[in-house]
Structure 1
Amino acid sequence: MSDSSRNTAAGAGWGTGERGTYKSLMPERVEKLSWLNPRTLWPARNGVLASWFGDPTGHTRDRWVAQRRADGAPADLVIGRDDPDRFSFMVIGDTGEGDEPQYAVVPGFLRASQDTRFTVLASDVIYPVGSSDDYGTKFFRPYRDYQAPIYAIPGNHDWYEDLQGFMRVFCDAPALAAAERPRPFTRAWLRSLLWHRGKPVDEQRLAGARRMRAAEAQQAVQPGPYWAVDAGPVRIIGIDTGLLGTVDAEQGRWLREVSRGDRPKILVTGSPLYVDGEHHPCPIEGGGTVDDIVRDPAHRFVAAIGGDIHNYQRYPVRVDGRTIQYVVSGGGGAFMHATHTIPRVSVAGVTEDEFRCYPLRGDSLAFYSGLYGRRLRLRRFFTLTEAEATAVIAERLGIGPTRRRQDPARVTRRVRLVAALLGTGRRPDKGARFRLPVRKAYTQLFSPGSATYSPPFFKSFLRLDVTPDAVRLRCLSATGNLEQELAPPVEDEVTIPLQPASIPLPE
């Protein structure tokens, strides 16, 4: 196992490391996803329309689930497995852009997952709009050598074509019948005039893609877009938060039902409940929140893992004398969301000392300073070394250095100004109130190109090792360099007790 980013800069992928072998896995021609291209933006309009004219995904989801039950899916949507009391599984989120960063994750993922029983994809399987035409290069091809089933929950991007591709691939569901037309001149009618609907599934093309994961050991058919898996001593519950990060009333009723009982539970959700130092409990239509269910001691949740945000974060939250691990795991391939914008953490009793993230804030700042230096042709001004970025993060947030083996760098006025311009923490320096976008808005201003397609990539995935007494959760990284490809570094690790009387201690 190679050094992690917490030990050395080389462990983070900085320097002149040899590039990994991931390009040999890719198709000859890869389309670069551009969020400036109208052909990308216009089909992805449904999220905006749902926020303006009302979100129809709850009704559409109910129709999908009813169709699956009519076709013989279990009424409780629970998948029973024959896993032993000791087994392992993987979690990887926000994977499918089909380019270098996604494929750079694959070699290390395959090494780390060799003896695992299954994988869960947590949110946004396919970018930009979840089209079935994209599953060949963005799902079947990258994971063709993973010899176990893959379950998935959809993210908002998978909903941009009403979940048609997702349901066909993971649930083997035929297309839904046409919905009843809304009454004229209502909000629903206005929404329907502009709503993006995907073209019918190209069954021949999809059949060709499926042949890349055709082995019997790789097969799994889900009962719907939300489900539960009983695996060994734990129950894993996957929920679908749709376009806007909410849960419909029927799914909320089901979630309360499958959360009952003494079996320890792990939630996987498309929208994380704690992220960027904030609490997002996820409302349920009709009242209550997902986090109310997770916190209820009668339900015995030990962890809640969410995708959507493209990095790794962990918050050990104490609830009624026990600790629930709230995790963000969205670093599976899509462009990186910054961590250096996360303020000094103090939320739900979790302090900066207990909080973990990957990439480290200093590496995130150095990464984005390099991007802006290249994009704006101001390399000498914007580009920070990883040592400078780490030092200014420590200064601005009042935290100690997170990299153990690193000589301190001098923090100059230029370094402070760049850090403020790129949104470090919540305390911009005087004269730097303007902040350049480094999160989702970045893709709306700068088309991803060659600057983001070379290491280090700062991608990540999870391995969870389950025993009757505990779950060991590890975050492993993928930088795109050969050293980390051959031996994926462990960027974070925590052991989560499963016994009800146990109180987890922070790592």
Structure 2
Amino acid sequence: MVPGFLKASQDSKFTVLASDVIYPVGSSDDYGTKFYRPYQDYQAPIYAIPGNHDWYEDLGGFMRAFCDAPPLAPEPSPRPLTPAWLRSLLWHRAHPTDEQRLSEARQLRSALAQRAVQPGPYWAIDAGRLRIIGIDTGLLGTIDAEQGRWLRVVSAGDMPKILITGSPLYVDAEHHPCPIEGGGTVDEIVRDPDHHYVAAIGGDIHNYQRYPVPVDGRTIQYVVAGGGGAFMHATHTIPRVSVGHVTEDDFRCYPLRGDSLAFYSRLYGRRLRMRRFFTLTEAEATAVIARRLGIAPTRAQGQPARVTPRTRLVAALLGAARRPDRTARFRLPVRKAYTQLFSPGSATYSPPFFKCFLRLDVTPDSVRLRCFAATGNLRQELDPPVEDEVTIPLPRQGTGG
């Protein structure tokens, strides 16, 4: 992903990593190979919000890298046969940081133009007319009362705002408003017309999705943008969209559902050594997705592929979404169970990768949001393709619009 990112990010002022910076457990010893080295040639500051994976080692690595915090004090060993002892057997425990290794890694991004120290895991940045607010949703996808109070304060005022969160508020055709300890939700703050949010961008899920949700006469762009690393989460499991007054015609995703299904068909064909049965072409996958969801094919084709009993069976086994009036049957794990059991070892090193990143260009009147694909193909590294684009108008300050 990095070569295309470096090309598309030329002249950008800073970058934000939208959660799960270091996969899978946020270890400080992994920052050299997974953060400092890949981004050593990006000549601007990088800020971040943590995701659940960054919390698996108590946020120690994240705080060292982005907040210049001291190392965490070692935890005392729990007494045997106590509840704390039992938890320690079942939960990943942080190990001491290799300080020399971390110090050497930091030198890779030590230029003055690259330096950035953020105050904590949640923050606000004013970028011209736009305020970008990053929140920390921790392990459970919620925020505590203290952060909730802070969020309400920094959300006040008529400056247009974009939220960056580790827990997308709209994802997989569902609404997840993100509870705040003590009452209320993050999405209530985003929707409040006095706060002037124009978008909410969430990481965590490893693909791209966009839901333009109408709210009180305006549109808030709810975006999933967690496709920058690790494996690719399936999009072919996303049902026909009808949520928050957003329909299938309004919804956008990358990879397209057909490409996602074709990718997973090759993956399972290889894993189960049944390539001839499982493998679908992009045309076959696109056709069967269109049939199952009752939608038009999402990519212009010459001669449409025929939907055969085999393609229908493979699509069903791989969890392709169905119309709401159809009941689900047995399927292979491609979502939560797949993530837990197989995904860490399923990263592919053969293009296309179906990774992506966003670029936001802010003017006094609008924000231009583009989703760039990172496929691993040389031509697209030199000229990253835009998979989705939207221009978001910014309300004029003081107008209440």
TM-score by length of 1: 0.75
For residues 89 and 334 of structure 2, what CA distance do their matches in structure 1 show? Answer: 33
2:209 equivalent in structure 1: 313
1:438 and 2:339 are equivalent in the alignment? no
- Show structure 1 runs of 5+ residues with no match: 1-104
Structure-1 residue corresponding to 2:48: 152
1:474-485 to structure 2, matched below 5 A, reads 474-485=370-381
Structure 1 pair 230/432, CA: closer, same or farther in 2 (3 Å)?
closer
Instruction: Give me the whole-angstrom Cα distance separating, in 1, the residues matched to 2:347 and 2:164.
Output: 32
CA distance 1:202–1:360, shift in 2 (3 Å): same
For the 8 Å contact 1:171–1:223, the answer to whether it is kept is yes
Instruction: Give the SS at the match of 1:366.
Output: helix
Cα deviation, 1:345-385, whole Å, max 9, x if unaligned, reads 00010000000000000000000001111111111111000
The answer on 1:287 being equivalent to 2:183 is yes
Mapped to 2, the partners of 1:380 and 1:361 lie a distance apart of 21
1:328 aligns with 2:224: yes
What secondary structure, in the 3-state scheme, does the structure 2 residue paired with 1:143 have?
Answer: coil
Contact 1:311 1:459 in 2 (8 A): yes
- 1:448 and 1:184 map into 2 onto residues whose CA distance is 32
Q: Deviations over 1:67-114 (max 9, x none)?
A: xxxxxxxxxxxxxxxxxxxxxxxxxxxxxxxxxxxxxx0111000001
2:64 pairs with 148, 157, 168, which one?
168
Which secondary structure state, in structure 1, belongs to the residue aligned with residue 158 of structure 2? coil
Does the Cα contact within 8 Å between 1:277 and 1:346 map onto a contact in 2? yes
Q: Which of 379, 394, 397 pairs up with 1:498?
A: 394
Partners of 1:169 and 1:324 in 2: CA distance: 32
Q: How many residues are aligned here?
A: 399
Once superposed, what is the RMSD of the aligned Cα atoms? 2.4
- Bigger mean CA offset, 125-134 vs 431-440: 431-440
Q: Deviations over 1:389-414 (max 9, x none)?
A: 00011111011111124431111010
1:3-402 superposed matches below 5 A: 105-177=1-73, 191=87, 194-402=90-298
| One-letter code aligned to 1:118 | F
Q: 1:473 aligns to what? A: 369
Secondary structure, aligned partner of 2:194: helix
Q: 1:457 aligns with which of 344, 353, 360?
A: 353
- In structure 2, relative to structure 1, the CA distance for the partners of 1:285 and 1:189 (3 Å cut) is farther
> 1:205 offset after TM fit, Å?
0.8
1:437: Cα distance to partner?
Answer: 1.1
How far 1:449 sits from its partner (Å)? Answer: 5.1
Change (3 A) 1:182 1:226: farther
Between 1 and 2, higher relative CO (CA 8 Å, sep ≥ 6) is seen in 1
Q: 1:426 is paired with a residue of what secondary structure? A: coil
Distance 2:102 2:9 in 1: 26
- 1:13 is matched with none
**Aligned CA distance change for structure 1 residues 182 and 256 (closer, same or farther; 3 Å):** farther
Change (3 A) 1:430 1:150: closer
Give the deviation of 1:484 after TM superposition: 1.0
Q: 2: CA distance between counterparts of 1:428 and 1:448?
A: 31
| Distance in 2, Cα, partners of 1:111 & 1:268 | 23
Q: Is the 8 A contact 2:60 2:71 kept in 1?
A: yes
Cα gap change, 1:429 to 1:233, in 2 (>3 Å): closer
Residue 191 of structure 1 and its aligned partner are, at CA, apart by: 3.7
Selected match of 1:421 from 317, 330, 339: 317
Pairwise CA distance, 1:441? 2.2
Residues of 2 paired with 1:154 and 1:273: CA distance? 16
- Structure 2 CA distance for aligned equivalents of residues 218 and 309 of structure 1: 27
Question: How far apart are the structure 2 equivalents of 1:421 and 1:428?
Answer: 17
3-state DSSP class of the match of 2:64? helix
Q: Which runs of 5+ in 2 are unaligned?
A: none
